Amino acid sequence: MPFCHVPGMNPSGTHGYCLLLLFALVGILCEEAPDAVKVRDTAIIPCNKTCNGKLLWVLKTKNENLDVLKCEQGTCTEGDGFKNRVSIFENSGNPSLKLYPVLYNDEGWYMVYCDSKFLCKFHLEVFVPTTVNATIRNNVTLPCYARTEKRIADDAVNVLWKKDDQTVLQVQKGIPKHGSSFTGRASVSLHHYKDGDLSLTISSVTMADKGLYRCYHNTEEEHGHPGAVTLNVIAHQKVCAKKFGDNLTLDLFGSDPATVTFTGSTETWVCNVSGNHAECSPEYTNRVSVVNNSLVLGMLTTSDRGTFTVKDKMGEVISINTVTVEGVTQRHHYVALSVLIWFVLSCICLLIWCHRKSQANANESTGLTELLREPAFIGFSQQETSPNIPEESEVSEHTPVEETMPMMVTPMMDKQDNTEEEESI
């Protein structure tokens, strides 16, 4: 609801009546400022006068005048089309009108009379908003169209974009004028205007840009289509895959101050950042720094796995950073496990080899023992050593058996024999 104030004026003195008339005129001008409400929302139609008599609210449209509400001696009656939807706004102390829910055809001029005397009037604009989503720091275009002249000169173009009753961009006779927070960021194409396109482009969207935007063509009573656009700014989302000991950079997106929280199993406070200074919880104090409007968290560990959320001064979420950390301790665990498995397998192989070696030695020792226990057959005939030879191979009993001498000759004996041979020669 607009508020008018004329500084330096004192209604007392010789010119008091003139000043009172001036204030009344200013009040009327303020009340005539248009207001807008979404369909199905609640509208409070103001009137800052008092009435102790018969009160009548009337809606004036292009085609008809409709009775909205009649009140006399504390009893009020709704007009046709407003049954169970209108009442006197109780908290105002004056005959302001409350309308709920607002319907699309409730748009128009609302006038109030007291004992048939005019008191106030107010223009209500009803719209069905179109919703446009944009990610923070991206560019966005809000649509608006109107019937324009194809050959209109640039210096004859008139466009007005408002956000929550504040001027975003006004092009008057081809000259643009920006609202304070949209300087250099909001624009309308004069070339596209000739095609009936009055769309507004906003660059580098911030959380403060979200809200209700309305587009007007020529005057504030000639709005474009759609009549309003709701801009919804979505938080920036990022997935960060980090290694043990890496740094994590959290963009604050120009918010000053900003708050950073961490969510693992529960949400905990990390830091409050104001300018280049960061005030942090004890577990983060020695690990953070502020660089180029970003919070840098150093020496990541596996305990930093989770979500870091950045919020602006109003508590709105600016960015959501999902962080994974590959833990070096986990890698060492796998390495240690691999070494342990290799060691166990090596021990098993060694035991198997030792067992087989021991068994082989035992077999060799057993064979040698059996060999030593076996009777010597040296000097015996083949018959004596081979008792199973068939009878037909046996020699005659009268055939003498040549005794076989053992072949064990010492080196000294060989040497002696050689000497004897030489002497005989």
**pLDDT per residue as tens digits for the range 386-423:** 444 444 444 444 444 444 444 444 444 444 454 444 44
- 391 or 103, greater pLDDT: 103
Length of the chain: 425
Mean of pLDDT over the chain: 80
Whole-angstrom Cα distance, residue 328 to residue 94?
Answer: 72
34-80: pLDDT as tens digits: 477 888 999 999 999 989 899 999 999 888 899 999 999 889 999 99
Whole-angstrom Cα distance, residue 72 to residue 361?
Answer: 125
Architecture of domain 236-328: Sandwich (2.60)
Question: Which residues have a Cβ under 8 Å from the Cβ of 99 and sit 6 or more positions away?
Answer: 42, 43, 44, 45, 82, 85, 86, 106, 124
**CA gyration radius, the chain:** 53
- 380 or 137, greater pLDDT: 137
The pLDDT, as a whole number, for residue 373 is 57
What's the mean pLDDT in 169-193? 92
- 191 or 401, greater pLDDT: 191
- 192 or 424, greater pLDDT: 192
Please report which confidence band the pLDDT of residue 94 belongs to, taking 50, 70 and 90 as the band edges.
Answer: confident
The pLDDT, as a whole number, for residue 92 is 63
Amino acid in position 42: T
Please report which confidence band the pLDDT of residue 101 belongs to, taking 50, 70 and 90 as the band edges.
Answer: very high
292-326: pLDDT as tens digits: 999 999 999 999 999 999 999 889 999 999 999 99
Please report which confidence band the pLDDT of residue 218 belongs to, taking 50, 70 and 90 as the band edges.
Answer: confident
- 61 or 1, greater pLDDT: 61
What's the mean pLDDT in 272-277? 94
Q: Where in the chain is the domain with CATH 2.60.40.10?
A: 34-127, 130-234, 236-328
Q: Which of 48, 106, 50 is nearest to 78 (CA)?
A: 106
Whole-angstrom Cα distance, residue 115 to residue 77?
Answer: 16
**Per-residue tokens: 393:** 């191979």
The pLDDT, as a whole number, for residue 287 is 93
The pLDDT, as a whole number, for residue 372 is 52
What's the mean pLDDT in 184-195? 92
The pLDDT, as a whole number, for residue 240 is 95
Amino acid in position 383: Q
The pLDDT, as a whole number, for residue 121 is 94
What angle is formed at CA 344 by the lines to CA 334 and CA 328, rounded to 5 degrees? Answer: 15
Does pLDDT of 90 surpass 60?
A: yes
Does pLDDT of 2 surpass 80?
A: no
Does pLDDT of 217 surpass 90?
A: no
Please report which confidence band the pLDDT of residue 367 belongs to, taking 50, 70 and 90 as the band edges.
Answer: low
Does pLDDT of 141 surpass 70?
A: yes
What's the mean pLDDT in 98-118? 94
Does pLDDT of 24 surpass 60?
A: no
Q: Which CATH number fits domain 130-234: 3.10.25.10, 2.60.40.10, 2.40.70.10, 3.30.56.10?
A: 2.60.40.10
Across 114-118, 236-240, 274-278, 332-336, least confident range: 332-336
The pLDDT, as a whole number, for residue 319 is 95
* Topology (CATH level 3) of domain 34-127: Immunoglobulin-like (2.60.40)
Does pLDDT of 383 surpass 60?
A: no
Pairing of strands 258-263, 306-311: antiparallel
In terms of phi and psi (left: phi > 0; alpha: psi -120 to 50; beta: otherwise), the region of 379 is left
Q: How far is CA 88 from CA 79, 118, 311, in A?
A: 14, 17, 41
What's the mean pLDDT in 98-103? 95
